[in-house]
Chain A
């Protein structure tokens, strides 16, 4: 089974801090994604990457950046955390060879105070 691992389950950060959320997948998938999940809004795409060093903006990229230096690792960066970035963050991966089903990590619940 594909495994997507997010390094932290819970994080509490202060306003203005730079925050790194890490995600690692173990199945050599080309595509990786970062979503945020908020009640009543579903899952919204922040950024995705289809290859090493490649990235594309999703629906809500403002205030975020990403890094993909190795195929298995995709990092989400909050440049200057704000309280409206308090949310559940989900990482996912997908094979690039015709697959359509995403595999999600367990999520990181980030609270910005």
Chain B
């Protein structure tokens, strides 16, 4: 059973566009929602994260929107660049050893 559902599976946008990746969860015990970015040949790297007591977090061009009542959260990439082309994983976590990943979204930003 997938604890975190992620969509879309793949996404293609033009440079400057705003790709949006959506995730949903069921377990209300989750208290940390990170996003990981993975480039080909590399392991995932923590990109940005949010806790459920805030509705939005912004770091540079990356923004997480969080809707606690709907149990949904999303990643927005402003002014996307070809260098943002990567696979993005959302995740939900409770405690150090309970991290559940979504299935990933392969983003391609066309110049």
Contact = CB atoms under 8 A, between A and B. Distances in A.
Q: Tell whether A and B belong to one assembly.
A: yes
Interface in A70-113: 90, 92, 94, 96, 99-107
A56 B95 CA distance: 15
Nearest to A92: B43
A96 B43 contact: no
Contact of B34 (A40, A48, A101): A101
A83 B35 CA distance: 31
B97 A100 contact: no
A105 B43 contact: yes
B97 A56 contact: yes
B43 A107 contact: yes
A58 to B, nearest CB: 9
Given A41-B103, A42-B102, A107 B42 contact: yes
Given A42-B89, A90-B44, A106-B43, A100 B34 contact: yes
B90 to A, nearest CB: 9
Given A40-B9, A43-B89, A102-B99, 18 more contacts: A4-B43, A31-B96, A42-B89, A42-B103, A43-B44, A45-B99, A48-B97, A90-B43, A99-B96, A100-B32, A100-B96, A101-B46, A101-B49, A102-B44, A103-B46, A104-B43, A106-B42, A107-B42
Interface of A: 4, 31, 33, 40-45, 48, 50, 56, 90, 92, 94, 96, 99-107
Q: How large is the interface on B (under 10, 10 to 19, 20 to 34, 35 or more residues)?
A: 20 to 34
A50 B97 CA distance: 8
Contacts of B104: 42
A77 B9 CA distance: 31
Given A42-B89, A56-B97, A102 B46 contact: yes
Contacts of B96: 31, 50, 94, 96, 99-100
B93 interface: yes
26 contacts: A4-B43, A31-B96, A40-B9, A41-B103, A42-B6, A42-B89, A42-B104, A43-B44, A43-B101, A45-B99, A50-B97, A56-B97, A92-B43, A94-B96, A96-B96, A99-B96, A100-B34, A101-B49, A102-B36, A102-B46, A103-B46, A104-B36, A104-B45, A105-B43, A107-B41, A107-B43
